[in-house]
């Protein structure tokens, strides 16, 4: 699921002030395994973006009906998206975790509040009937701390800001972000030029306007490096993403199935 989210976060360029989009996610072995909804709005000074990824079918069974939500809110300064808060939530059948990051860019500090809940099965014994009964009890915890390192982006704004950092002139861009897969490893975005783009067309179901490659180094250096090919439309919005064979499950593809832009 983490690789699927990497695809869906690749929203490299935004020219509209408001849009809503849905992507279907398919895996060779299981066919459709989930979908993601993205909502974005801005007023020229402030922005808000929300991504919700939902598993279905066999993937939902294997991942305990996992739903992951990412919300970033903040300011737009000199055409850059500057986060003030970033909320990352993961819900499963019996567990929930919400991580809320608060950015202080002047002090170069990030405060994290992490809240967890889980359902724990507990037993009780009735001596009058000699029966043992079980019920789920919710346990909660809350922790607050300062992050060890300051970075200026969260995992959504890192991609929103990529459009001014990765292009035909500057072809490589290191992504550093709070809440992203690259907390302890490298994620490198690279611009694919016309010649290489022609060779990549065979992997995509729809036409390619712009193409990027996202290379993710694994936490365990003995694992394989992950490459995600990302196709954008003429407005610079994510159209389709493709990743080659992954372990035994096959190819992973995210394809846009609904897209509505509101121009103001």
Determine the pLDDT at residue 12.
39
Put simply, whether the predicted model's pTM sits higher than 0.95 gets the answer no
Determine the pLDDT at residue 129.
78
Nearest one of 164, 141, 161 to 152, comparing CA atoms: 161
The C-alpha angle 211, 48, 76, rounded to 5 degrees, equals 80
Q: Three-class SS of residue 160?
A: helix
* Greater model confidence, 191 or 7: 191
- Give φ, ψ of 30 to 5 degrees: -110, -5
Spans of all domains in the chain = 2-117+146-262
H or E segment to which residue 5 belongs: helix 2-8
Determine the pLDDT at residue 15.
44
Characterise 22 by phi-psi region: left (phi > 0), alpha (psi -120 to 50), beta (else). beta
End-to-end Cα separation, the chain, in angstroms: 35
Q: Which two tokens stand for residue 235?
A: 């407005």
Distance CA 15, CA 38 (A): 15
Pairing verdict, β 31-42 and 18-27: antiparallel
* Greater model confidence, 109 or 180: 109
């Amino acid at each position: 699921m983490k690789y699927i989210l990497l695809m869906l976060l690749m929203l490299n360029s935004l020219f509209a002030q408001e849009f809503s989009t849905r992507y279907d996610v398919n895996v060779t072995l299981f066919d459709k395994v989930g979908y993601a909804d993205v909502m974005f709005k801005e007023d020229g000074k402030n922005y808000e973006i929300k991504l919700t990824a939902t598993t279905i079918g066999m993937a939902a069974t294997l991942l305990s009906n996992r739903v992951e939500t990412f919300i970033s809110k903040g300011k737009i300064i000199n055409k850059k998206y500057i986060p003030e808060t970033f909320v990352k939530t993961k819900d499963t059948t019996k567990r929930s975790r919400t991580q809320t990051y608060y950015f202080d860019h002047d002090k170069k500090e990030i405060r994290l509040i992490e809240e967890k809940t889980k359902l724990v099965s507990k037993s009780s014994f009735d001596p009058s009937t000699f029966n043992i009964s079980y019920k789920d009890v919710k346990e909660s915890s809350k922790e607050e701390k300062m992050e060890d390192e300051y970075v200026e982006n969260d995992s959504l704004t890192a991609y929103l800001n990529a459009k001014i950092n990765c292009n035909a002139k500057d072809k490589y861009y290191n992504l550093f972000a709070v809440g992203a897969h690259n907390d302890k490893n490298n994620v490198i975005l690279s611009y694919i030029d016309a010649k290489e783009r022609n060779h990549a067309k065979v992997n995509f179901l729809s036409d390619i306007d712009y193409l990027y490659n996202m290379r993710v180094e694994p936490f365990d250096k003995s694992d394989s490096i992950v490459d995600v090919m990302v196709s954008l439309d003429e407005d610079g919005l994510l159209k389709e993403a493709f990743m080659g064979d992954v372990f035994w499950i096959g190819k992973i593809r995210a394809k846009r199935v609904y897209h509505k832009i509101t121009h103001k």
